[in-house]
Structure 1
Amino acid sequence: MQNDSGYFRTVMRRTTTAAKVLLVGLVVMLVSAGTIFAASQGGSQGNKTGVTIQVNPSSRTIDRGDPVNYSVSLTSTNGFSGSVTPSVSGLPASTSAAFAPSSVSLTSGKTATVTLTVATSASTPDGKADLTIATAAGASQAAAVVVQLYVQSSKKTFSISGNLGAQLTPGARVPLNLAFANPNNKSLALNSLSVSITGVTRIQSAVAAALPCTKDDYVVTNYSGPFPLAVPEGSSSLQSLGIPPALWPKIAMLDTTSNQDGCKGATLQLSYSGAGEGN
Structure 2
Amino acid sequence: MTQNADRAGDRAYIRDLGRAFGGALLFSLPLLMTMEMWALGFAAEPHRRLVYLLAALPLLFGLAHYAGFSARRGLVNNLLDTLVALAVGYVTAAALMSIFNVLDYSSASSAVGQVTLQAAPAALGALAARRQLSDASDEDGEDQASYPGELFLMLAGALYFAMNLAPTEEMRLIAYLATPLGALGVLVLSIILLHLIVFEAGFAGQEKAETPLRAFLDFTLPGYGLCLLASLAMLWVFGGTDGHGLQALVANVVVLAFPAAIGAAAARLLV
What is the TM-score normalised by the length of structure 2?
0.20
Instruction: Report which of the two has the higher share of helix.
Output: 2
The structure with the larger Rg is 1
